[in-house]
Amino acid sequence: MYRHVPNYDFVIDSPVGKLGICIHDRQLARLDYLPDARQLQPATTRFGQRVCAELEAYFSDPSCRFTLAVAAAGSSFQQRVWQALLGIAPGNVMTYGELAARLHSGARAVGNACRNNPVSIVVPCHRVVGVAGPGGYSGKTDGPELERKCWLLQHEGVSVKPLKSA
């Protein structure tokens, strides 16, 4: 099956693997996890270097907050969910159900919006978890995707298993 592969503005290494980053009009538009074999590609613009610096700061100190402008394309509901994610502070989590209640929606709809978040880490969908554990990440409930979510949560000081009693 053919899948469109974005033309990344730069590719960096991080503790959670290679990250491909797209920018548009000095705004972060996309952040993708890439295979380890992907060649690094340095940021050549001032904004790209700022994106790198903010990601490096977060990976050094999880309490760092991102200040990047984001241009994530999505439906109005997805935009509402992604905006709400920005209000979850590092080291804190919210369940899919709690976030859904806050947005007057359903937990599955929130999960789908999180799954389609094009700028994970910066818009912290990893801070939304299941009632009895980490839930999923990038639409997966195991494998490298979930390992990344658990790493990000542990990096922020969140105990991953179990997060809440059922």
- By annotation, the residues acting in catalysis are 125
Degrees to nearest 5, angle at CA 18 with 14 and 20 = 115
d(CA 143, CA 137) in angstroms, rounded, equals 10
Using the structure block, give the residue that is written with the tokens 């369940």. Answer: 95
- Angle in degrees, 0-180, between the axes of helices 107-115 and 76-85, rounded to the nearest 10: 90
Q: Please, how many CA atoms are within 13 Å of residue 24, restricted to the half-sphere of its CB? A: 10
